[in-house]
Amino acid sequence: MAFLTRDSDSPNVGFPPPLVFVGFLLIGCAIDDLFGLNPAISNSVRVVLGGGAILIGCAFVLGALLRFRKAGNNPEPWKRDTAFVAEGVYRITRNPMYLGMVIASFGIAVAANCLGGLLTLPLSIVAIHTQVIRREESYLSATFGDEYREYCRHVRRWI
């Protein structure tokens, strides 16, 4: 696929990370259907908690994307980074896009009354951490050196 053409100087991630979250949510929904998992979450809680989490998660992702674009970076982890970004939501977390995806996935699972989606969420976090974040951190350390390592000392990986 042309859109997944990797830059030679990149974290070398070969897939779109949002697909990990979507995939595990779909697996969770299938588990729900297969085993009849239906938590008794009231509609008001589903709307408030689920909807709120979706909005917060999307705000993190959007804030990170805007900062990336402003710096001239592509958000795709198979593309080269041209600038180090440490402003905006990047002052709160080193991985605002992934944190936003986790929060939004939680919200979707709650809003959909999908216990399986909540149960598979930790698996998506582990997959993103081991297959994406570790590669990105190694790449950023090699690319931006001491500036990135100093940033890591002051800003947490997640929250």
- Could you count the other beta carbons within 10 Å of the beta carbon of residue 62? 14
Residue 129 lies in a domain: yes
Q: What domain range is 63 assigned to? A: 42-154
Query: d(Cα 109, Cα 32) in Å, to the nearest integer?
Result: 11
For 86-106, the pLDDT digits (tens) are 999 999 999 999 999 999 999
pTM of the complete model beyond 0.85: yes
For 101-156, the pLDDT digits (tens) are 999 999 999 999 999 999 999 999 999 999 999 999 999 999 999 999 999 999 99
Q: Which residue has the tokens 């939004």?
A: 104
Q: Which residue has the tokens 């198979």?
A: 78
Number of structural domains in the chain: 1
Q: List the one residue out of 5, 6, 27 whose CA is nearest residue 120.
A: 27
Q: pLDDT band for position 9 (50/70/90)? A: low
Q: List the one residue out of 73, 93, 89, 102 whose CA is nearest residue 11.
A: 73
Residue 70 lies in a domain: yes
Q: What is the dihedral of CA 142, 143, 145, 150, to 10 degrees?
A: -110
**How many Å separate Cα 45 from the centre of its chain?**
24
Task: Let me know: does 111 contact 46? Beta carbons within 8 Å.
Answer: yes
Residue 159 lies in a domain: no
For residue 4, pLDDT over 90 is answered with: no
Residue 116 lies in a domain: yes
Residue 128 lies in a domain: yes
